[in-house]
Amino acid sequence: MKPLNLAPIYFDNNATTRVLPEVLKAMLPWFSEQYGNASSSNQMGQLAKEALMAARAAVAKFLNASPAEIVFTSGATEANHMAILGTLATNPLRRRLVTSTVEHPSTLRLLDYLATTGIEIIKISVNAKGELDMAALAEAVNENTALLTLMHANNETGVLFPIAEAAAIAKNQAAAFHTDAAQSAGKIALDVRQLGCDLLSFSGHKLHAAKGVGALFVRKGFMLQALIHGHQERNRRGGTENQAGIVGLGVACQLAQTHIALHGEQISILRDRLQNGILARISFAKLNSTAINVPNTSNICFSGLHGEELLYRLDKAGLIASLGSACTAGGTEPSHVLLAMGLNREDALSSIRFSLSRETTETEVELAIETVVNVVTEMTAALAVVA
Ligand code: PMP
């Protein structure tokens, strides 16, 4: 594939983020200079081990956890699997699992599979703003519930679920509580004690670390069966560690934590400017949710326009965003999240997700507004001609 010849304006940070220069710099020596195995007792191995310890401490601090509570994984997908399967395995007498209808596919696909094995899966619905039905949740979590698993922030809309409240509901029934924080980590401050979770997943590449690395927080004293057996990670996750990836994750967490309040405020100002700019100039555009959300995400419906074509034209004009729906072998399916919020298929397929990062600039936001307005005007003019 040919490289892009123009620097794109990147508004797809919920899909993945750029590895920061500081993160890359910290990672590089671990590939070709200090390439020891942290399990080796030789000097090089010991250096690698020390670097893992430093990264573990940084990740723990980022979550207000202790280092022993951090298990490095290949990302949030694996961490979600470890949390869900590990909890079910340690709690064979409880066969119910409660979740929401709008979880990430890395959870929902696993739960679909678990349903075929006899686990009772209860999915709690959301309202038109994407907010969770807390009364239904409280009713669904019972004495047969092994685990309540809920995402912290939604990847498509950015909507935040009230995690501490949900964790209290689980605790009331002595059920375990897991949150998938892949889309909140690095965007808002996280504190596992305040959230009250037993387990929390996140992925490095959503907060400017590399792809293929992430972590699961496992509360001290919480019993969790391993998914991958081996001596690493205190017998909780076997396999030689992703040394460079983990070192980079530590640095990314440190950087995120240092500036999180300031960055959050800056990003939300730019996000609001982007969405207000688009809404002010395209009369039929509307926000898909106005609920409390992370500062960087905006999901906008351009009713009547073909979202895939809109995205393609934006892409050609140098603006990278996302459709918020899954491409399947059979074509593009509308987003399960937007359908769960009550949008019809057409509106769901006309919706575009814009996701910013702390690298997004004011100039990029202004350019993005112009690009969206131009492309949408072209498309509506073409539709008018056809009609
Ligand atoms: N959960 C959520 C909410 C996500 O947004 C993602 C990534 N899109 C994942 C889990 C999975 O992360 P990864 O692909 O890095 O394993």
Query: Does the pLDDT at position 5 exceed 60?
Result: no
CA-proximal residue: ligand 1, atom 6 (nearest): 182
Percent of the chain residues topping a pLDDT of 70: 96
Least confident of 46-50, 308-312, 330-334, 383-387: 383-387
Query: Does the pLDDT at position 172 exceed 90?
Result: yes
So what's the pLDDT on residue 7? 77
So what's the pLDDT on residue 384? 77
Please report the atom of ligand 1 found closest to the CA of residue 205: 15
Amino acid (1-letter code) at residue 78: E
Query: Does the pLDDT at position 222 exceed 70?
Result: yes
- Give the residue-averaged pLDDT of 306-325: 93
Query: Does the pLDDT at position 66 exceed 80?
Result: yes
Query: Does the pLDDT at position 4 exceed 90?
Result: no
So what's the pLDDT on residue 383? 82
Relative orientation angle of helices 43-63 and 243-281, to the nearest 10 degrees: 30
Distance 348 CA to ligand 1 centre (A): 21
**CA–CA separation, 74 vs 55, rounded Å?**
15
Distance 75 CA to ligand 1 centre (A): 7
Give the residue, out of 156, 159, 183, with the most ligand 1 atoms within 8 A of its beta carbon, to mutate for a pocket test. Answer: 183
- What are the tokens at 352? 């575009």
CB atoms within 10 A of CB 234: 10
- 327 or 267, which is more confident? 267
> Which domains does the chain carry?
9-17+263-386 (3.90.1150.10), 21-256 (3.40.640.10)
Residue for token pair 């019809």: 344
- Give the residue-averaged pLDDT of 212-222: 98
Query: Does the pLDDT at position 92 exceed 80?
Result: yes
The whole-chain average pLDDT of the chain stands at: 95
- Give the residue-averaged pLDDT of 154-163: 98
pTM of the prediction? 0.96
CA-proximal residue: ligand 1, atom 8 (nearest): 15
Distance 45 CA to ligand 1 centre (A): 31
Instruction: Outline where 28-173 has alpha helix (H).
Output: 29-32, 43-63, 76-90, 105-116, 134-140, 163-172
Query: Does the pLDDT at position 325 exceed 70?
Result: no
Query: Does the pLDDT at position 105 exceed 70?
Result: yes
Pocket of ligand 1 (CB under 6 A): 75-77, 104, 106, 151, 155, 180, 182-183, 203, 205, 214
Q: pLDDT category, 3, cuts 50, 70, 90? A: low
Please report the atom of ligand 1 found closest to the CA of residue 204: 15
Cα distances (Å, whole numbers) of residue 282 to 74, 146, 370: 41, 47, 11
Instruction: Provide the annotated active-site residues.
Output: 327
Query: Does the pLDDT at position 192 exceed 60?
Result: yes
Distance 334 CA to ligand 1 centre (A): 18
> Secondary structure of 50-85 in the HEC alphabet?
HHHHHHHHHHHHHHCCCHHHEEEECCHHHHHHHHHH
Pairing of strands 285-287, 331-332: unpaired
So what's the pLDDT on residue 326? 53
- In a 3-state reduction of DSSP, which class is residue 258? helix
- Give the residue-averaged pLDDT of 223-237: 97
**CA–CA separation, 203 vs 92, rounded Å?**
28
Query: Does the pLDDT at position 228 exceed 90?
Result: yes
Please report the atom of ligand 1 found closest to the CA of residue 15: 8
So what's the pLDDT on residue 308? 95
Contact by Cβ (8 Å): 6, 211: no
Least confident of 153-157, 328-332, 380-384: 328-332
Query: Does the pLDDT at position 331 exceed 80?
Result: no
Query: Does the pLDDT at position 1 exceed 70?
Result: no
CA-proximal residue: ligand 1, atom 12 (nearest): 76
Query: Does the pLDDT at position 386 exceed 70?
Result: no
So what's the pLDDT on residue 219? 98
Please report the atom of ligand 1 found closest to the CA of residue 212: 15
- Per-residue buried b or exposed e for 195-216, using 16+ beta carbons within 10 Å of the residue's own CB: bbbbbbbbbbbbbbbbeebbbb
Cα distances (Å, whole numbers) of residue 230 to 39, 191, 206, 238, 386: 12, 29, 27, 4, 63
So what's the pLDDT on residue 9? 96
Rg of the chain's alpha carbons, rounded to an integer? 22
Which distant-in-sequence residues (6+ apart) come within 8 Å of 79 by Cβ?
Answer: 71, 73, 180, 201, 202, 203, 214, 215, 216
CA-proximal residue: ligand 1, atom 14 (nearest): 77
Distance 77 CA to ligand 1 centre (A): 6
So what's the pLDDT on residue 332? 78
